Amino acid sequence: MQAKQQVKIAVMGYNAGSVKYAKYYAEHPTIQLAGICDLRDDEAEEWSEHVQATVFHNLPKLLAEQKPDILHLALPVMEHLPDLYIAAEAGVHMMCEKPMGLSATDLKQLAAICRQHSVQIIPSHEALFRPEYSDLARQVRAGVIGSPGVVHVRRMMTGEEAYGSRLPSSSAHRIEPIMTLFIEEIEFMSYLLGEVESVFAQHIRKERTEYALLTLKYECGTIVNMEGILGYPSPATSEFEMAGNQGIVRSSPKMSASVEIRRGGSEFRLVSPAFEDAIDGYIRSVLNIATYKTEPIISLEASWKTAVVIQAAAYSASNGQAVTMRSFRLTDGWWRDA
């Protein structure tokens, strides 16, 4: 593929995220929106309100006629696997929300078919490119705050941002709100800190509001506390504070800078805000994978580990006990019963 050639991306599935990305692809100078695949009968009219693109009812037909370089899947978790296999066998790279499958066997089969056809599954990890998170990673790796000891993360979302008009089917179903609130934050912290040693979680639902609390202990010794609210009456926000043995770095939407660093008592400085949106950085990395055959920042295996931590958190929230990751094993039906 020539470096200046447009990368063709097709989108499968209809939700707020897929509409956002489809609009982005349609306007990007180096991307061609290669088509939309949606199996619903009424999708063509809905899509026409957002972008001008051919809507297909059949994925193999879209792949054969449009020959995209990348397929962006925006489907419910339990519908990922068949279409991932179809795209991989067609030699198409894939962008996909986490988790890609429901078991370690799914992961091994996906990895094998990707190697066979020389394609990549690119986990959705836009959070890594948020200005505050990219600056946090830079400061921590530069040793500015020393060795991280404790991290506090707070995330709030409206119910519409998380579920639209739909709520999870059962008050006992804890995994969906925990995953919605924390999967990107857990993936980022694991990218920065390494393997999770144990997890403890609590989850409460009251009418259309849900509250979740996670405590993660990492093998490096860092403790990460995450607090999340679904049903918060304002747009999605997140803030964090990381304390090390030589200082503190924090970020909040109330600040004009991406992060604030404090060292030695009152000594502090602000890191200037970034001028690139998270989606720009994420898509640039995706284009590099398609054009130059680079590796994803987050591997398929690392992304699966994050999904397993989410599963362990849901299990902890259901029985009130901490879960040690080395001894945690999935059981049949975990996705339905968590």
pLDDT digits (tens, 9 = 90+) for 308-334: 899 899 889 989 999 999 988 765 444
36-47 average pLDDT score = 77
Q: What is the pLDDT of residue 243?
A: 96
The residue whose two tokens read 């009219």 is 45
Give the closest residue to 168 by CA, choosing from 203, 123, 126, 124. 203
Question: Could you report the per-residue pLDDT of 191-204, keeping only the tens digit for each?
Answer: 999 999 999 999 99
Q: What is the pLDDT of residue 176?
A: 78
Q: What is the pLDDT of residue 275?
A: 58
Q: Please give the Cα distance from 219 to 98 (Å, whole number).
A: 23
Strands (E), 158-208: 196-206
25-36 average pLDDT score = 95
Average pLDDT of the chain is 85
Q: Please give the Cα distance from 296 to 302 (Å, whole number).
A: 11
Q: How confident is the model at residue 248 (pLDDT cuts 50, 70, 90)?
A: very high
Q: Determine what percent of the chain is predicted with pLDDT higher than 90.
A: 49
Q: What is the pLDDT of residue 2?
A: 45
| Cβ proximity of 171 and 205 under 8 Å | yes
Q: What is the pLDDT of residue 313?
A: 93
- 328 versus 215: the higher-pLDDT residue is 215
At residue 183, does pLDDT exceed 70?
yes
Q: What is the pLDDT of residue 105?
A: 82
Q: Determine what percent of the chain is predicted with pLDDT higher than 70.
A: 84
Is the CA virtual torsion 90, 92, 97, 101 positive or negative? positive
In this structure, which amino acid lies at residue 18?
S
| Cβ proximity of 9 and 68 under 8 Å | yes
Cis omega before residue 68 (within 30°)? no
What the block records as the tokens of 182 is: 């924390």
Beta-bridged to residue 156, according to DSSP, are 229, 237
Q: What is the pLDDT of residue 271?
A: 60
Q: How confident is the model at residue 124 (pLDDT cuts 50, 70, 90)?
A: confident
At residue 161, does pLDDT exceed 50?
yes
Question: Could you report the per-residue pLDDT of 77-110, keeping only the tens digit for each?
Answer: 778 889 999 999 999 999 998 777 777 788 889 9
| Cβ proximity of 196 and 219 under 8 Å | yes
Q: What is the pLDDT of residue 5?
A: 82
- 163 versus 195: the higher-pLDDT residue is 195
At residue 71, does pLDDT exceed 50?
yes
- Beta carbons within 8 Å of 1's beta carbon, 6+ residues apart: 7, 69, 290, 291
Please give the model's pTM, rounded to 2 decimal places: 0.85
